[in-house]
């Protein structure tokens, strides 16, 4: 147990009337963190609520057991928020007001008097599991469901390289509590909407192989998005398609955001640095996953991308 | 530790000159079992080889560390083989000659003087992990890679409901040994051949929704198979496509094996019993995954399937 964790545990025990902030476009880890912490605090007889910009319907089950309480907020905790900018519509109200920041991002820019940041943790929910154990609260099935959702989504259901033996042991303990992994895995990893299926079919037609098949590019134009009526929900996860193709080292996904304006996601396998590639077009990111924006018609934007790919290959 | 496990450990220590049999159309669990056991026996200074009908190239890495030895076989062990029928081309030579059968199928029909069968184990490799611990052998990285491959493939990379806390803890121990989960997950779960991508695209065009979208049917005709030049490798895993679609309770995959002869896979979510559905057409299987054969043209075969679906829905 780190000192920061002991301080965070003491702080949560001491204070009351909590507001728990998630990041914008919330995912399984920030929502699992938020709702599990809310359940823990309510179990301790305190007032707490989660403040988020939205909850995608697939995550509604995380709220199970939460009691809506009416109270005047006194304590603000952020979970899985690396920067106040990421609070979205809640930024204006809460910026500079965070009392405790719990996060697992390598670079955390939140300014708060108390911070529990473990940059090597695969999921924020993994930090919280240890915190709850330290606090001695009962990890109920509902809390276990929240924690499993956060950990499984942030590790790609144990496929990503952040899946350590510690993560496996935490999940073993969570499973022993009786969390509903069957339901969560089904909803998170084994369900596609009809629109998503239609979109994948359409996107498969756009695959272009280049540089001796070492690079694959897919494009989701505004035309496709309008024709199928797809939004962010369906478009998420597409970037993994070109990277998955056997032999492909650079997988590029182009999404037309506005006419002649493309948001580009680059995923690489091993040898090529995606962040370096995207930096050449004013973007950035990690070595295996990065992004940038490129303007022009589809063909013009592709040519710009191919030009930088030819530089790095 | 069960008595059977103790007996199996003693037997392996006592005997020498092993031939280890996998099942036909070998998968990650039978090959991971076979090669790990071969490595363990060779580590003990014994002679051993794996006898299998084929090794798909993605599994070639499992052989790392195996020494080719020339010897006259004296002891036959089968791994992950539920029935001698499943030995394929090796059946004739080895039927009735198995000395030790190690398996995790609920129903095991192999006749052998010594059997270590745990029908509740998610993977045969999970049984072997415990056996190797009992035997006190060193589980090297190569052995760990074999065991992880078997466990991860048989649990759908920890998505299936057979993923118990014990499985998670075994994998935590395996990860601590230093097995290459990044490589194995990438090859097993994150890589699709170009042919597979082309096939999925083609198959998406065949999706038919029926019974108020509670049932979805896909069809892989001989025409499609010939056009794309796809074989068993690409066709594997297709059955999960219709089942994954949101709202679908019965996902049906029809594969034309011979002209006007369809091999049908049925996958269901929860309420409908797939085995019962397939039994009406002379097939069988499990409650969530079953199969049968249906003759006729594509349209005729579909009508026969829809008729039984209408009976169970």
- What is the rounded average pLDDT of the residues B233-253? 91
Q: Is the pLDDT of residue B232 over 90?
A: no
Q: Which of B160, B182, B246 sits opposite A161 (nearest CB)?
A: B182
Contacts of B168 in chain A (CB under 8 A): 168-169, 171-172, 175
Contacts of B171 in chain A (CB under 8 A): 165, 168
Contacts of A244 in chain B (CB under 8 A): 190-192
Say what the pLDDT of residue A266 is: 95
Residue predicted with more confidence, B105 or A72: A72
> What residues 120-149 of chain B have any CB closer than 8 A to a CB of chain A?
none
Q: Judge contact between B238 and B253, C-beta under 8 A.
A: yes
Q: Which of A175, A194, A205 sits opposite B245 (nearest CB)?
A: A194
A51 touches chain B (CB under 8 A): no
> Which H or E run contains B168?
helix B165-177
Instruction: Determine whether the interchain pair A197/B245 forms a contact, defined as Cβ–Cβ distance below 8 Å.
Output: yes
Instruction: Determine whether the interchain pair B197/A245 forms a contact, defined as Cβ–Cβ distance below 8 Å.
Output: yes
Contacts of B243 in chain A (CB under 8 A): 190
Give, as one character, the DSSP assignment of residue A122: S
B208 touches chain A (CB under 8 A): no
Which of A232-236, B83-87, B157-161, B178-182 is least confident? A232-236
Distance from CA of B268 to the nearest CA of A (A): 12
Instruction: Determine whether the interchain pair B172/A190 forms a contact, defined as Cβ–Cβ distance below 8 Å.
Output: no
Q: Is the pLDDT of residue B92 over 90?
A: yes
Say what the pLDDT of residue A142 is: 98
Contacts with A308 (C-beta within 8 Å, 6 or more apart), sequence order: A277, A280, A281
Q: Is the pLDDT of residue B313 over 90?
A: no
Residue of chain A whose Cα is closest to the Cα of B178: A165
The residue among A194, A199, A202 with the most chain B CBs within 10 A of its CB, best to mutate, is A194
> What residues 243-262 of chain A have any CB closer than 8 A to a CB of chain B?
243-247
**What six digits make up the tokens of A137?**
């609260």
Average pLDDT for consecutive 10-residue bins of chain A (313 residues)? Answer: 94 98 94 98 98 94 98 98 95 97 93 96 97 98 98 94 96 97 94 92 95 96 95 85 94 96 92 92 87 96 97 90
Give this complex's ipTM.
Answer: 0.90
A200 touches chain B (CB under 8 A): yes
Say what the pLDDT of residue A286 is: 81
Q: Judge contact between B256 and B235, C-beta under 8 A.
A: no
Which of A56-65, B149-158, B212-221, B230-239 is least confident? B230-239
Residue of chain A whose Cα is closest to the Cα of B244: A191
B176 touches chain A (CB under 8 A): yes
- What is the rounded average pLDDT of the residues B165-184? 97
Report which of A92, A62, A55, A96 is spatially closest to residue A76, judged by C-alpha positions: A96
Say what the pLDDT of residue B228 is: 95
> Which H or E run contains A51?
strand A48-51
What are the beta bridge partners of residue A290?
A266, A285
Q: Cα–Cα distance between A32 and A30 in angstroms, integer?
A: 6
> What residues 259-298 of chain B have any CB closer than 8 A to a CB of chain A?
269
- What is the rounded average pLDDT of the residues B59-67? 98
Give, as one character, the DSSP assignment of residue B192: B
Contacts of B164 in chain A (CB under 8 A): 175
Average of per-residue pLDDT values in chain B: 95
Instruction: Determine whether the interchain pair B181/A163 forms a contact, defined as Cβ–Cβ distance below 8 Å.
Output: yes
Contacts with A224 (C-beta within 8 Å, 6 or more apart), sequence order: A199, A202, A203, A206, A230
Instruction: Determine whether the interchain pair A201/B197 forms a contact, defined as Cβ–Cβ distance below 8 Å.
Output: no
> What residues 211-230 of chain B have any CB closer than 8 A to a CB of chain A?
213
Distance from CA of B25 to the nearest CA of A (A): 22
- What is the rounded average pLDDT of the residues B257-273? 92
Q: Cα–Cα distance between A10 and B101 in angstroms, integer?
A: 56
Contacts with A188 (C-beta within 8 Å, 6 or more apart), sequence order: A28, A58, A149, A152, A153, A157
Instruction: Determine whether the interchain pair B193/A164 forms a contact, defined as Cβ–Cβ distance below 8 Å.
Output: no
- What is the rounded average pLDDT of the residues B173-179? 97
The residue among A129, A147, A159 with the most chain B CBs within 10 A of its CB, best to mutate, is A159
Q: Is the pLDDT of residue B233 over 80?
A: no
Say what the pLDDT of residue B284 is: 86
Say what the pLDDT of residue A117 is: 97
Looking at chain B, which runs of residues are DSSP E strands? 18-21, 48-51, 75-79, 100-103, 114-117, 208-210, 215-220, 250-258, 261-268, 284-285, 289-295
- What is the rounded average pLDDT of the residues B131-152? 98
Report which of A239, A244, A238, A237 is spatially closest to residue A278, judged by C-alpha positions: A239
The residue among A139, A162, A165, A196 with the most chain B CBs within 10 A of its CB, best to mutate, is A165
Distance from CA of B202 to the nearest CA of A (A): 8
């Amino acid at each position: 147990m780190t000192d920061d964790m002991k301080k965070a545990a003491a702080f949560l025990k001491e204070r009351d009337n909590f507001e728990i902030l998630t990041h914008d476009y919330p995912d399984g880890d920030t929502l699992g963190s938020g709702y599990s912490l809310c359940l823990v605090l309510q179990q301790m007889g305190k007032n707490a609520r989660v403040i988020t910009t939205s909850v995608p319907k697939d995550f509604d089950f995380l709220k199970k057991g939460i009691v809506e309480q009416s109270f005047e907020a006194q304590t603000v905790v952020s979970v899985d928020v690396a920067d106040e900018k990421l609070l979205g519509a809640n930024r204006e109200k809460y910026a500079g007001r965070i009392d405790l920041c719990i996060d697992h991002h390598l670079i955390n820019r939140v300014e708060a008097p108390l911070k529990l940041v473990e940059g090597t943790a695969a999921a924020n929910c993994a930090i919280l599991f240890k915190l709850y154990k330290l606090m001695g609260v009962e990890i109920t099935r509902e809390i276990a469901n929240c924690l499993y959702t956060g950990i499984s989504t942030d590790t790609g259901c144990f496929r990503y390289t952040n899946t350590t033996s510690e993560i496996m042991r935490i999940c073993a303990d969570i499973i022993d509590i009786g969390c509903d992994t069957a339901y969560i895995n089904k909803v998170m990893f084994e369900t596609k909407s009809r629109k998503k299926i239609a979109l994948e079919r359409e996107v498969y037609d756009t695959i272009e192989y280049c540089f001796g098949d070492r690079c694959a590019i897919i494009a989701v134009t505004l035309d496709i998005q309008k024709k199928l009526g797809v939004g962010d929900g369906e478009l998420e996860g597409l970037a993994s398609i070109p990277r998955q193709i056997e032999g492909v080292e650079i997988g590029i996904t182009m999404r037309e955001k506005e006419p002649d304006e493309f948001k580009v996601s680059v995923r690489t396998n091993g040898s090529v640095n995606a962040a370096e590639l995207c930096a050449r077009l004013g973007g950035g990111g990690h070595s295996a996953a990065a992004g940038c924006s490129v303007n022009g018609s589809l063909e013009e934007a592709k040519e710009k991308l191919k030009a930088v790919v030819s530089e790095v290959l």
